[in-house]
């Protein structure tokens, strides 16, 4: 069993999807779960209220070294696999499911438009609409700077998960204004009431610091203790 084909596809997916569709470039995200028995890539849209909707999941069968999506047949009531043999078919499948999802979301929004207007048909606006693309980076003092333009060079990668209770993800980007690297970490905790608590942190560092950071981690891995839920 080999994950070489999985890793190759993961490395190409983000750039290919961004270039194939402007809408996906603005709204779509992907997250890699390499540790699962069948590694997978989840494709999702994140809305303003931080609500995340997964619109497609791409699985990888390491034994047969093939990608597939699962589909549910309403007629038979059974789930079957759609095998995707190459990167072009994978891109087409994700692209199609993205637009099907967004079309359904648009229909829901149009149905809710009546609630946006008051009795005089005056629009209700949100003052935060102009800063949707900004990234807030908090300092130790509790204050924050606003980074307007961060180029994310990797998708969100799952670093750790435990059952359906906790997950930690990372993604890497570059601050365009300074050229510094930025690591974005999200810790998600799912409560018994099916609520999600998110804790987001950002770590910014220069290219000159990167080597020392990597060396510090590598030289101290043996003194760290892993999380043992048992």
Query: Domain 132-221: which topology?
Result: Nuclear Transport Factor 2; Chain: A, (3.10.450)
Euclidean distance between CA atoms 13 and 44, whole angstroms: 14
Sheet strands (E) in 64-165: 66-73, 78-84, 135-138, 144-147, 150-152, 156-162
C-alpha Rg value of the chain to the nearest Å:
20
pLDDT value of residue 16: 81
pLDDT value of residue 110: 54
Compute how many other C-beta atoms are within 10 angstroms of the C-beta atom of residue 95.
19
Digits of tens for pLDDT over the chain (230 positions)? 578 888 888 888 877 877 777 777 778 888 888 877 889 998 888 776 667 788 889 999 988 889 999 887 767 777 888 899 888 899 888 888 888 888 877 665 555 554 544 444 444 444 444 433 445 454 444 445 555 578 888 888 888 888 778 888 999 989 888 888 999 888 888 887 777 888 888 888 898 888 888 888 888 888 887 765 54
């Amino acid at each position: 069993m080999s994950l070489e084909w999985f890793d190759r596809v993961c490395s190409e997916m983000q750039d290919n999807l961004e270039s194939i569709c402007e809408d996906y470039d603005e709204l779509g995200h992907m997250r890699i779960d390499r540790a699962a028995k069948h590694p997978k890539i989840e494709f999702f849209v994140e809305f303003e209220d931080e609500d995340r909707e997964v619109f497609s999941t791409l699985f990888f069968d390491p034994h047969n070294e093939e990608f597939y999506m699962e589909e549910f047949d309403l007629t038979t009531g059974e789930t079957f696999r759609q095998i995707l043999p190459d990167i072009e078919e994978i891109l087409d499948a994700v692209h199609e499911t993205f637009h099907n999802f967004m079309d359904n979301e648009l229909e829901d929004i149009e149905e809710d438009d009546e609630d946006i207007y008051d009795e005089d048909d005056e629009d209700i606006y949100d003052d935060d609409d102009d800063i949707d693309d900004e990234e807030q980076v908090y300092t130790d003092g509790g204050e924050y700077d606003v980074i307007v333009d961060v180029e994310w060079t990797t998708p969100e990668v799952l670093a750790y998960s435990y059952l359906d209770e906790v997950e930690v993800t990372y993604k890497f980007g570059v601050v365009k204004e300074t050229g510094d690297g930025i690591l974005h970490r999200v810790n998600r905790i799912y409560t018994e009431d099916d609520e999600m608590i998110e804790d987001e942190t950002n770590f910014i560092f220069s290219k000159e610091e990167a080597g020392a950071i990597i060396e510090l981690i590598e030289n101290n891995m043996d003194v760290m203790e892993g999380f043992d839920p048992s």
